[in-house]
Structure 1
């Protein structure tokens, strides 16, 4: 196989997507991967949407209270400006970003950067959420995590909203959402219909 001289030895980037329902451990897995990259002495930069201030204004924080410092941003194009001279970029709560995020991730990967993205794959209605379908389509590696259904104990893939709000984005924790399996999710939806 012929390798073009300008590409020989060049760093290759890729996109990893961690997805699942609420309480499935997405942020915990993102933090774990970023910590391992730091142990390997890789230069990392971490981003989260500015609107997500549930636990902390700057840190990415898991439900288990593990945290890592991040840069809150208002639009995904800022990542291209701020992710200079890095080996790894971490992005949490990807579903809250604008439609340009998949393009931004592509550009970073083309620069030779490992991009690790975490986000909800479905909204509270069980529909694909925000930019996640496009990110999943572009991903080189996908990890789908599951929570445990609070009703029956089976694996949970759905984020059931316990409030009456119909807004797509409602920030909340266990007071607003609970993980449910397919059966228990639809059973709850039918009772609310």
Structure 2
């Protein structure tokens, strides 16, 4: 029926998309009453706000299903209950390997409105998970940007502030910050320099033992 893809720099705001995309002038109170026809799914990898809820940008909570894969959703939700659903929201879509197949089945064959929110790229500016794979399926796509925390310009990229190198590292403002192109490049240089200093100190300390 309908598949909307929202890519953005920070994880966690499918609930905001629920209110903004489905509202169309309807009050938040009315939207909440319609939640029985809406199911929201997030990755079980993110436990920052608990496993049974996601948090909107203004701090409001909505119930959700925390899953490791999307293929198990219909069975866990219940086949009869699934048939009654109008809308399925998927948050943190980059963490689901079966994203493409689930979205295609839900939208094309089950007649569901599917709203997908996730990161299209990681902190290295490389594709993240299967988010880009579902672009050909989408009726509409919205690319959101934040404000660069350094200069206030549009922030197109995510800068990781820690020295961790693994691709999947769940965190909020303590780990990531939105930045413009200039400050992403400058920040990467700074992070690389810091890592080199740390490694150099390790080698130097080892030579004295």
Shared fold (TM-score, shorter chain, > 0.5): yes
Matched position secondary structure for 1:84: helix
TM-score, with length taken from structure 1: 0.84
Instruction: Compare the two structures and name the one with the higher helix fraction.
Output: 2
Matched position secondary structure for 2:117: strand
Give the equivalent residue in structure 1 for 2:131.
132
TM-score, with length taken from structure 2: 0.78
Q: Distance in 2 between matches of 1:112 and 1:56?
A: 30
Give the equivalent residue in structure 2 for 1:22.
10
Question: After the TM superposition, which segments of 4 or more aligned residues of structure 1 sit over 4 Å from their partners?
Answer: none
CA contact (8 A) 1:15 1:139 kept: yes
Between 25-34 and 123-132, the greater mean CA deviation after superposition? 25-34
Which sections of structure 2, spanning at least 5 residues, go unmatched?
193-209
Between 182-191 and 106-115, the greater mean CA deviation after superposition? 182-191
Q: Distance in 1 between matches of 2:42 and 2:20?
A: 16
Deviation at 1:27, TM superposition (A): 3.1
Cα RMSD, aligned residues only: 2.2
Structure 2 counterparts to residues 1-193 of structure 1, below 5 A: 13-22=1-10, 26-33=13-20, 36=23, 39=31, 41=34, 43-81=37-75, 82=77, 83-98=82-97, 100-110=98-108, 111-193=110-192
Matched position secondary structure for 1:16: strand
CA contact (8 A) 1:154 1:181 kept: yes
Between 46-55 and 28-37, the greater mean CA deviation after superposition? 28-37
Which sections of structure 1, spanning at least 5 residues, go unmatched?
1-12
Deviation at 1:161, TM superposition (A): 0.3
Between 154-163 and 27-36, the greater mean CA deviation after superposition? 27-36
Equivalent residue pairs, number: 179
Deviation at 1:33, TM superposition (A): 4.3
Deviation at 1:133, TM superposition (A): 0.8
Between 28-37 and 81-90, the greater mean CA deviation after superposition? 28-37
Change (3 A) 1:192 1:170: same
Deviation at 1:190, TM superposition (A): 2.1
Q: Which has the higher contact order (CA 8 A, sep 6+)?
A: 1
Larger radius of gyration: 2
